[in-house]
Amino acid sequence: MRIDFNGRVAIVTGAGGGLGRQHALALASRGAKVLVNDLGGDVHGVGGSVSAAQAVVDQIHAAGGQAMANGASVTDFEAVEKMVQQAMDAWGRVDILVNNAGILRDKSFAKMELDDFRLVMEVHVMGAVHCTKAVWPIMQAQNYGRVVMTTSSSGLYGNFGQANYGAAKMALAGLMQTLSIEGEKHDIRVNALAPTAATRMTEGLMPEQVLKALEPHAVVPAMLVMASQEAPNRTIICAGAGSFEAAQITLTQGIYLGDGVDTPEQLAQALAQLTDLKGALVPRSGSEQGALEVGKAMQAHGG
């Protein structure tokens, strides 16, 4: 059954180019009305112009779709609220939010300025928080919403020179985990996309042949699934070059050692057993970690 978005309204941030542009075009091509947001700055977040967003809107209009441009910075909550109101005034609802806006300020941690760390956190994390906070009551009231966070392998697994970016992207996975629980009763499903795509952010970092395989449009199917009516909830989908995987934050079965004087030494000797993935599980909430630990303690004491 074809995924379509007729009657749906989507907001895509950072949609003036790269992956965000592909997201906006794909949603529009399948019937969504799309608010195309882009500050219009460079990859480092410098500058600003609505022209990049407007060019995407013009392309959507030329194909017979409905769209409008917005140049708000996702770091400005008041501007984000006005952006959401713009969509509400025009179309009366917001069904889909794709938090895609982001910048890079790459340097090794030793050489990184704290201002560059803060700014990356502000754009990625608080940007997603601002946009999600602005649409959340609307989605609650209509008992429907689909939110896509953009995480990254740099956050999930680390990447040299990206301490700020990695911290921000892992924070978004954590935000997704809790919002997916809180939104469930209102049919607000929150998921995260970890894309591998050639954009302005990756120019000059990879050979040309690799860049061709990593065209941004190859990532879009994962976003469309997460934005659809039949979307999963609380899922991290990794996507790149036409391949798709799921990333899980797992918990090993671990071991019970008690809290004796020599427990630190026992733990140091048992790290291989501690990290053994046999029987690992994916907890459905943070309290499941505590339940596992208390259960092992009770069992050890014959409870």
Question: Which residues are catalytically annotated?
Answer: 165
DSSP state of 199: S
Tokens of 238: 């990794």
Calpha distance 245→178 (Å, rounded): 21
Residue pair 156/236 in contact (Cβ under 8 Å)? The answer is yes
Calpha distance 171→127 (Å, rounded): 12
SS3 196: strand
**Torsion angle of the four alpha carbons 103, 107, 110, 116, in this order, in degrees rounded to the nearest 10:** -30
Cβ-proximal residues to 134 (8 Å cutoff; 6+ apart), any chain? 77, 80, 81, 83, 84
Contacts for 49-53 with beta carbons within 8 Å, 24 or more apart?
A: 52/16, 52/17, 53/15, 53/16
Q: One-letter amino acid identity for 37?
A: N
